[in-house]
Structure 1
């Protein structure tokens, strides 16, 4: 694995940690969930053979520190952070962007707020549940997760959250986790440390975000909506499928499920390259 060039960037209310590898046109990778730049360790080196690959820890995660640790979080501000990174690393050319999960939500806002900076966006399972016909049900889930987090703590809240993401009618216990690659296993400790912030600040803010669908309609030629091939029926799959149908674009399927980037890195990276070339 190649050591990346490390940088820091002052933004409104935070200092971002970012990493750059390779050379060529810029590819910005926006992590989701409780992950940071390290989420992309499994694919960044391979992608760097073709692109200047940049990724970062979102504000409040891992090495990207908040000036006020109690500050409320917003999709617009996280998207502006991505914009600032693009301005620093590719000031003269629009970039390719990939975002996963909550990172894909920030990426959708980036596309609508700064379309001139994005050549193509692949948004993998953005849980923008507000676009769904049963959005009110999912608002109830978010409220239950927050109530459980504040009264019972992190792990009970995560259990409520995980149950709400499962396929409708699926009452089975979670399957045994796919054995993670060594790099991914080593990241678990940092990811666990980010979970309280993710559950308490990111989940309620990001999952109540409603994208500007009329703007996405106008930009649909540079937006690719993607899902895990094993995610069909799960909650994070549904908004991407709904938006692809609404926009009249092809829904692309990637290896694995919601976390296919981690469980199937080689296949995921190859699929990512193919979709960006298409």
Structure 2
């Protein structure tokens, strides 16, 4: 893996928040976007892409090092897209390629709709676009139950329900190890904010398909090879079908860019 990559950090004041961001490398701008995943989750991928790109990563508003003025403010895809547009403007290297994963893919799609002048290519990796599915009402009800379970303080119960709805199966004991063990106060706070103020707004967001079909921004739908049958496999295929395109397979599953950054980078370079 790439080592000794220089990282420049900064903070950008935006309405109601302060965004922490990192910049690596030189060349065409690519932004790596998560929600709720922060800049740290993308660091190995960013290091590899920095060989020939300027790579922007950031903590989404309300997560880790990006505090918000109102802790009760919901984090919506359109709000996060506006933040991303301002970050791209800050670097003055746009329009950018944007790789968004999960909720970050929804952010990237929102940016393509609202500010297509800021992004020439979106790689939407497994966006949870529940609104595109026929069983969306059942899934929305399940999400409400998941959130209520977490807000009652049942952490492992909420994650068990979330993973079941996402059709993700973990080996025995992994759930308790991941979410029942000691975690930092920051990790717990970020998790709670995601459940309370981000998950519902992200999964209820409906893309403007007509706009995405006609906008100049190139939209590529990505799916993990190991995600077959999972909820985000279904939502991603629904999006690709609605856009009249074929999804692109990437190594790994929903978090393939974390588990195999080298393989993911190779595939991303092929796609771009």
Verify same fold: TM over 0.5. yes
Q: Distance in 2 between matches of 1:192 and 1:162?
A: 18
Deviation at 1:150, TM superposition (A): 2.4
Unaligned runs of 5+ in 1: 168-172, 179-187
1:2-13 map, 5 Å: 2-13=5-16
Secondary structure in structure 1 of the residue aligned to 2:231: coil
Establish whether residue 54 from structure 1 lines up as the match of residue 56 from structure 2.
yes
Distance verdict in 2 for CA 1:217–1:62, change over 3 Å: same
1:176-214 alpha-carbon deviations (Å, 9 max, x no partner): 699xxxxxxxxx855454211111111111111111111
Rate the CA distance shift 1:87–1:220 in 2: closer, same or farther, 3 A: closer
Report the equivalent of 1:43.
45
1:193-208 mapped onto 2 (5 Å cutoff): 193-208=189-204
| Alignment-derived partner of residue 234 in structure 1 | 230
SS of the equivalent of 2:71 reads coil
1:143-154 alignment runs, 5 A limit: 143-154=144-155
Question: Which residue in 2 is equivalent to 1:129?
Answer: 130
**Aligned residues, how many?**
260
Cross-structure match for 2:107: 106
Match of 1:73 among 72, 75, 79: 75
User: What is the SS of the residue equivalent to 2:120?
Assistant: strand
Paired residue secondary structure (1:120):
strand
RMSD of equivalent CA atoms = 1.9
The structural deviation recorded for 1:152 is 4.1
Report the more deviating stretch, 24-33 or 102-111: 24-33
1:218 maps to which residue? 214
Runs of 4 or more above 6 Å deviation: none
Partner secondary structure for residue 66 of structure 1:
coil
Counterpart Cα distance in 1 of 2:204 and 2:217: 26
Distance 2:153 2:211 in 1: 40
TM-score by length of 2: 0.90
